[in-house]
Structure 1
Amino acid sequence: MTSFAEQCRIHDAAREEALARTVRIIKAANLELVRFVWCDLHGVLRGKTLVAPAAEKAMREGVGLVSTLMLKDTSDRTAWKVFEPGGTASLPGFGFANNFLLMADPESFRQLPWTTATGWLRGQPHYPDGKPVELDTRYVLQRALERLHAAGYAMKCGLEVEFHIYRIEDTTPQLDPELAAWNGLPPKVRMIHPGYNLLAEAWFDMSEEPLRIVQRTAQALGLPLLSLEVEFGPSQVEAVFEATDALTAADNMVLFRNAVKMALLRAGYHATFMCRPPFPTIMSSGWHLHQSLVDAKTGRNVFRRDSPAEGSTPLQASSTLSRIGESYLAGLLAHAQGMTVFCTPTANGFGRFRPNALAPQSVLWGRDNRGAMLRVVGECGDEATRIENRIGEPAANPYLYFASQIHAGLDGIERGLTAPPATESPYGAGAEPLPTRLGDAIAALQRDEVLCKAFGPAFIDYFSRIKQAEQDRFDAAEDKDDFQRREYFGRF
């Protein structure tokens, strides 16, 4: 009898071997529960927890999930009226809170280090007829990577992720049933270090207990963690990861973000990947994405240049980047406004774009310049030559963030674009500004014909409607700080 996994055309001999291996591990480790999870539009993991004996069948036949999980904004409100006739007419395959089936990847199996006897599997949703749900964000990145591979390239990504960790003082606001609301209040917290002393060893020592939890959790899950650092802002820290292929890096980001929040919570800490926590004096957190393209066959870095182009100056991209690298850079600049909403997708995140704050303000690139939107890192002959995008916030969905880079960069390559000179004044007047609010970023995406075509009109309409619902509620909120405290701080 054909299994649903076979009907989905995702099951082959390799998957069967991985499935059998995972079942053996579950039994040998005497696991009791297995979490089957999926990454939603906002980068949050959702799913169901099965008893261990049910895991093998679930890997073959899927786990039912209500389709409205894909229609939620950041408050968990459904952005479509799914029970009204024609309410989901723009979403073929959706309707009346119908079911999708989550198909897990046996290769993704982990045993969770912060809880007992529990396994974990990542999955992607499929329609009941076996077809993948095209609006799934991991599928969106997979399609972008297929386009990149067809051009002869693969993508490598390194992650630098800033976030905040606080010690929980009182959970009463969050858990008192008399205070329950949609959205509810987060817990009361205090800082783990006072900030304003960048990379201070004393502040690291003060923060070591929660940072050890982050370290041990990441390493136990097999994530390629390189360093943990005390950042400039109060209670702000940073995690840096080795570069990997793009899909692995995106998967790692989703797992890291969700795992450290849960592991730290068990120990009495609150981690938030919200860009600007709701306190009077904070520093915004960024997610700096280091990216390069490699030859799909040889693995050679195609951004690398052995020597400066003849007649070039240090302010020209051709003095550092190959022709392909320069065109990719120029593509990122050409589509900067349109891709911003994938890099900074919350109403909260746009407060980061301000002068002299180690965050970008304008559509510019620079040579090792941390004030520019795009920072070119490396010298001629350096195999690690790369472009760092500095407009991302740590709450971004990594699958969409990466896909936007691929589609923008490929357009630059396909059109042979050249980059303007590097900036030496990233906060100077006259440069093209980045969007300053979520609604403006949505509109910029909708005007970008290249990105709309690459992502597909159906996805752009879907994504825009959900993000616009968030902007509309933010605009309607009388107390913007309270809105962000409830909307983002407790959840992200």
Structure 2
Amino acid sequence: MTSFAQRCGLHDAARAAAVDRVARQVAASGLELVRVAWCDLHGVTRGKTLVAAGTRRALDEGVGMVSTLMLKDTSDRTAFKVFEPGGTASLPGFGQANNLLLLPDPDSFRQLPWTPATGWLRAQPWFQDGRPVPLDTRHVLQDALAKLDAAGYAMRCGLEVEFHIYRITDEAPQLDSELAAWPGLPPAVQLVHPGYNLLAEGWYDQAEEPLRIVQTTAQALGLPLASLEIELGPSQVEAVFDVTDALTAADNMVLFRSAVRQSLRRAGYHATFMCRPPFPNIMSSGWHLHQSLVDKATGVNAFLRELPADGSTDADASHTLSAVGEQYLAGLLAHARGMAVFCTPTVNGFGRFRPNALAPQSVLWGRDNRGAMLRVIGGCGDAATRIENRIGEPAANPYLYFASQIHAGLDGILRGLSAPPATDAPYGEANAKLPTTLGEALDALRDDPALIEGFGGAFCDYFTQVKRSELARHDQAEDKTDFMRREYFSRF
């Protein structure tokens, strides 16, 4: 009898060896529990915790998961009428809260450092007949990477992630049964540093206890953490990660956010990757995505240019980027408005796009310009030449964020687009502005046929319906700050 992993087409000698290795490791380490985790549409990990003896069976046969988990908005309300006739007609394979199967990846196995005798496995959902679920966001990125591979390229990514850490002063608002609501309140908190003293060593020392927890957690999980920094805003910090391939970088971001929140919570801290926490005098957090392509045939950075193009100036992309790099840059610009909703997917995140705030406002690129949406870094002969996209918020689903870059940039390459001159006035007048609301961003995606083709119309319709549910509840909320506090600060 074949296993579920075999019916999914995943079973081979390498996977069988990895399953054996995990089973031995679980036994040798004396683990009692193993968490099987999956990343949902909003970048949040969900899953089931198994007793250790069930690990091998889970790796071979999967773990049941109710399909409505894929249909939730940010409040955990189901955005489709799954029990009504035709309620999931646009979602083949879904309906009546049927079961999917989470199949863990044995190569993802880790032992969690903040909780005793517990292992962890990353999983993806499959239909019970062995077909992958195309709405799964990791599958969406895998599909985008396959298209990039067919064009002869691989993607490399480095991450700069800003977020906030607070000390919990009272858990009652979140845990008091009399205050329970859907969604509920976060705990009461205070700052870990007062802010407005960028990179101050004294502020780092003041916040060292929680930052040490971030450091030891990331390193124990094998994440390529490079540095921890004090950002400008009160209680705001930044983590920087070394470059990896795109899928690994996305996986690392999902694990980092989840692990940091859990490990800090056990020590009495509340970490949030919400862009703009619901307090006065805060600074927005961004997620700056450094990206380049590798030529698969040569292994060389495909953005690298040895010499400036003849007759070019500093304002020309061809002065620094290869022809492929310029085309990719032009694709990101051409689809900036359409891809914005995958980079900044919450109502809250659009409050970041303000003038002179080190956040973009317009569809522009600049050479080492932190006010522009796209910052080109490097120069001729520099193997680290890359493009930094500064549009993202730290709550974004990394699989969708990265996939949007691939579809946009690849369209630029396939159409041979040219980039306009670089800006030296990122907050001046511009022909195209970034969306300023979630609704405008969803409309921009609807009006971008290349992105809809890249992601697939069915996925874009699904994504839009879930996000419209979130937007509708925000628009109906009498107290918008309270909505942000419950919807994002408590959960992201």
Q: What range is the shorter-chain TM-score in?
A: over 0.9
Q: Which residue does 1:247 correspond to in 2? A: 247
Q: Which residue does 1:309 correspond to in 2? A: 309
1:321 correspondence with 2:321: yes
Where in structure 2 are the equivalents of 1:196-235 lying within 5 Å?
A: 196-235=196-235
Q: Which residue does 1:427 correspond to in 2? A: 427
Rounded Cα–Cα distance in structure 1 between residues aligned with 2:126 and 2:244: 27
Give the superposition deviation at 1:242. Answer: 0.2
Task: Give the number of equivalent residue pairs.
Answer: 492
Q: Which residue does 1:99 correspond to in 2? A: 99
Q: Which residue does 2:15 correspond to in 1? A: 15
Q: Which residue does 1:416 correspond to in 2? A: 416
Q: Which residue does 1:289 correspond to in 2? A: 289
User: Which aligned segments of 4 or more residues in structure 1 are displaced greater than 6 angstroms?
Assistant: none
Q: Which residue does 1:446 correspond to in 2? A: 446
Rounded Cα–Cα distance in structure 1 between residues aligned with 2:448 and 2:78: 26
Q: Which residue does 1:266 correspond to in 2? A: 266
Rounded Cα–Cα distance in structure 1 between residues aligned with 2:11 and 2:295: 28
CA contact (8 A) 2:363 2:430 kept: no
Rounded Cα–Cα distance in structure 2 between residues aligned with 1:108 and 1:161: 22
Rounded Cα–Cα distance in structure 2 between residues aligned with 1:28 and 1:55: 13
Give the superposition deviation at 1:298. Answer: 2.8
Rounded Cα–Cα distance in structure 1 between residues aligned with 2:30 and 2:370: 49
**Partner secondary structure for residue 154 of structure 2:** strand
Where in structure 2 are the equivalents of 1:103-118 lying within 5 Å?
A: 103-118=103-118
5+ long unaligned stretches in structure 1: none
**Partner secondary structure for residue 491 of structure 2:** coil
Q: Which residue does 2:399 correspond to in 1? A: 399
Give the superposition deviation at 1:297. Answer: 3.2
Letter in 1 for 2:287: W
CA contact (8 A) 1:75 1:487 kept: yes
Give the superposition deviation at 1:87. Answer: 1.1
Rounded Cα–Cα distance in structure 2 between residues aligned with 1:330 and 1:277: 33
Where in structure 2 are the equivalents of 1:4-403 lying within 5 Å?
A: 4-403=4-403
Rounded Cα–Cα distance in structure 1 between residues aligned with 2:27 and 2:430: 64
Give the superposition deviation at 1:280. Answer: 0.8
CA contact (8 A) 2:362 2:430 kept: no
Rounded Cα–Cα distance in structure 1 between residues aligned with 2:238 and 2:299: 29
Rounded Cα–Cα distance in structure 2 between residues aligned with 1:473 and 1:56: 42
Q: 1:364-396, CA deviations, whole angstroms, 9 ceiling, x for partnerless residues?
A: 000000000000000110000000000000000
Rounded Cα–Cα distance in structure 2 between residues aligned with 1:349 and 1:5: 39
Q: 1:220-250, CA deviations, whole angstroms, 9 ceiling, x for partnerless residues?
A: 0000000000000000000000000000000
Rounded Cα–Cα distance in structure 2 between residues aligned with 1:412 and 1:54: 47
Letter in 2 for 1:140: V
Rounded Cα–Cα distance in structure 2 between residues aligned with 1:405 and 1:200: 34
**Partner secondary structure for residue 159 of structure 1:** strand
Rounded Cα–Cα distance in structure 1 between residues aligned with 2:392 and 2:297: 30
Q: Which residue does 1:489 correspond to in 2? A: 489
Q: Which residue does 1:479 correspond to in 2? A: 479
Rounded Cα–Cα distance in structure 2 between residues aligned with 1:298 and 1:42: 36
Rounded Cα–Cα distance in structure 1 between residues aligned with 2:377 and 2:45: 33
**Partner secondary structure for residue 301 of structure 1:** coil
Rounded Cα–Cα distance in structure 1 between residues aligned with 2:330 and 2:431: 15
Letter in 2 for 1:306: E
Q: 1:29-60, CA deviations, whole angstroms, 9 ceiling, x for partnerless residues?
A: 00000000100000000000000001101110
Rounded Cα–Cα distance in structure 2 between residues aligned with 1:457 and 1:292: 27
Q: 1:393-451, CA deviations, whole angstroms, 9 ceiling, x for partnerless residues?
A: 00000000000000000000001000000000000023311000000000100100000
CA contact (8 A) 1:315 1:422 kept: yes
Give the superposition deviation at 1:86. Answer: 1.4
Give the superposition deviation at 1:17. Answer: 0.3
Q: 1:100-127, CA deviations, whole angstroms, 9 ceiling, x for partnerless residues?
A: 0000000000000000000000000000
Q: Which residue does 1:462 correspond to in 2? A: 462
5+ long unaligned stretches in structure 2: none
Letter in 2 for 1:33: L
Normalised TM-score (structure 2)? 1.00
CA contact (8 A) 2:165 2:270 kept: yes
Rounded Cα–Cα distance in structure 1 between residues aligned with 2:253 and 2:11: 26
CA contact (8 A) 1:203 1:230 kept: yes
Identity of counterpart residues, as a percentage? 75
Give the superposition deviation at 1:256. Answer: 0.2
Rounded Cα–Cα distance in structure 1 between residues aligned with 2:33 and 2:420: 55
CA contact (8 A) 1:293 1:302 kept: yes
Rounded Cα–Cα distance in structure 2 between residues aligned with 1:54 and 1:438: 42
Letter in 2 for 1:195: G
Rounded Cα–Cα distance in structure 2 between residues aligned with 1:278 and 1:338: 27
Letter in 2 for 1:321: L
**Partner secondary structure for residue 294 of structure 2:** strand
**Partner secondary structure for residue 242 of structure 1:** strand
Letter in 2 for 1:77: R
Letter in 2 for 1:275: C
CA contact (8 A) 2:287 2:392 kept: yes
Give the superposition deviation at 1:85. Answer: 1.4
CA contact (8 A) 1:364 1:431 kept: no
**Partner secondary structure for residue 203 of structure 2:** helix
Rounded Cα–Cα distance in structure 2 between residues aligned with 1:71 and 1:109: 27
Rounded Cα–Cα distance in structure 1 between residues aligned with 2:445 and 2:192: 38
Rounded Cα–Cα distance in structure 1 between residues aligned with 2:382 and 2:481: 45
**Partner secondary structure for residue 405 of structure 1:** helix
